[in-house]
Amino acid sequence: MVFLHTGGEGGGMTTATLHPDVETTAEAIASMEVRGAATIAGAAADALQTQAEHSEVSTAAEFRNQLRAAARRLHETRPTAVSLPNCLRYVLDRMEGDSVEELRATTAAAAAEFSARLETAQDDLGAVGANRLRDGDTVMTHCHSTDVLSCIEAARDRGIELSAIVKETRPRKQGHITAKALRELDVPVTLVVDGAAGRYLKEVDHVLVGADSIAADGAVINKIGTRSLAVTARERDTPIVVAAQTVKLDPATLSGHTVEIEYRDESEVISERERDDIGEITVRNPAFDVTPPRYVDAIVTERGQFPPESIVTLMRELFGEQTATPWENE
């Protein structure tokens, strides 16, 4: 069990006992053993469900405190993927009741419902994305996106033959995960280093990327290197399509908030030995970048396909200007 001191509902301090799965999940997200925006949100929902189902507290106030403490622990792991706060908000906003048993039931049900919706959304999005793909097309991918793979899988299920040029995606080479998943779908794969993408774009019919967050102006926040890929693709007239469930829409950007870009450890970029050999240098490792809407042709969601500039309409409909952070309430 993990003991955290948290603010209590009466303003005093209480000790919230978190289920070990919450800490295990938080560590797995922070270390990127669990990664990718949709997968992170699903893991967070599972952890909240476990916390609710196994809570041993005796009062409703303690239960609420404990769930908020669990949500805070999950929230602090990775800053850029908005699916994480969207998940925590979805579950905590539905934590209702006067007794521990009522709170347990509503919270666990909300977490299970969030997970189920995530899965359905990805399938529905895949069906929309597959409509863009034609027999014989070549797609180029960046990083590893389960939303992108859902589009390709739906196309393959319809008997559409595709091939893929997969960018390695430095520094952590998530392109290898994509390559493996595509081979499992029987898609021929050509792996290229990131710098070679431009060279191969003329053989590509669609650039297909995922998103960690989408801002109200239609800007797409995704793995570092997405922006330069989109700029080059636009220069070559290759359509760039973003596959992103609506859980990637960031409602806070409606009211002027910006998306925090995560910087990761320098050791992902260069080893200690290589660095010593070079001498005194600065190393920067931003994990994500922002692609302005003018370089994006379409955002494919489970609610259909949108030009990036019109995504704000869907964002307002689904979230309003919701920026509440119920995990911080006392």
Q: Does 26 bind ligand RUB (CB under 6 A)?
A: no
- Residue 15 in contact with residue 5, Cβ under 8 Å? yes
Dmax (CA) for the chain in angstroms is 64
Out of 22, 26, 38, 70, the only residue in the binding site for ligand RUB (CB under 6 A) is: 38
Stretch that binds ligand RUB, among 29-37, 251-259, 277-285, 297-305 (CB under 6 A): 29-37
Helix (H, G, I), strand (E, B) or coil at 233: helix
Handedness of CA 244, 250, 254, 259 (dihedral sign): negative
CB of 134 to ligand RUB, least distance (A): 22
Of 52 and 182, which has the nearer Cβ to ligand RUB? Answer: 182
Q: Does 147 bind ligand RUB (CB under 6 A)?
A: yes
Out of 69, 108, 179, 287, the only residue in the binding site for ligand RUB (CB under 6 A) is: 287
- Residue 95 in contact with residue 64, Cβ under 8 Å? yes
Q: Does 167 bind ligand RUB (CB under 6 A)?
A: no
Q: Does 227 bind ligand RUB (CB under 6 A)?
A: no
Q: Does 36 bind ligand RUB (CB under 6 A)?
A: yes
Out of 22, 60, 133, 143, the only residue in the binding site for ligand RUB (CB under 6 A) is: 143
- Write out the DSSP string of 121-165: HHHHHHHHHHTT--TTEEEEE-S--HHHHHHHHHHHHTT--EEEE
- Residue 51 in contact with residue 67, Cβ under 8 Å? yes
The residues, ordered by sequence, that sit 6+ positions from 228 with a Cβ below 8 Å of its Cβ are none
The one-character DSSP state at 306 is E
CB of 208 to ligand RUB, least distance (A): 10
Q: Which of 143, 147, 194, 250 is catalytic?
A: 143
Tell me how far apart the alpha carbons of residues 258 and 261 are, in angstroms, rounded to a whole number.
9
Out of 50, 51, 141, 146, the only residue in the binding site for ligand RUB (CB under 6 A) is: 146
CB of 222 to ligand RUB, least distance (A): 5
Q: Does 91 bind ligand RUB (CB under 6 A)?
A: no
Tell me how far apart the alpha carbons of residues 157 and 140 are, in angstroms, rounded to a whole number.
19
Q: 276 an active-site residue?
A: no
Q: Provide the token pair at 105.
A: 């039931």
CA distances from 176 to 37, 161, 206, 241, 262 (A): 17, 21, 19, 21, 22
HSE at residue 325, side-chain half, CA atoms within 13 A, is 10
Q: 143 an active-site residue?
A: yes
Of 36 and 85, which has the nearer Cβ to ligand RUB? Answer: 36
Of 31 and 258, which has the nearer Cβ to ligand RUB? Answer: 31
CA distances from 206 to 137, 147, 242 (A): 8, 15, 10
Per-residue binder mask for ligand RUB (CB under 6 A), 181-220, x = binder: -----------------------------xxx--------
CB of 312 to ligand RUB, least distance (A): 20
CB of 266 to ligand RUB, least distance (A): 16
Q: Does 242 bind ligand RUB (CB under 6 A)?
A: no
What H or E segment, with its residue span, contains residue 71?
helix 60-75
What amino acid positions are annotated as catalytic residues?
143, 212
Kindly list the residues in this chain that would bind ligand RUB in the complex (CB under 6 A). 35-39, 81, 143, 145-147, 174, 210-212, 222-223, 287
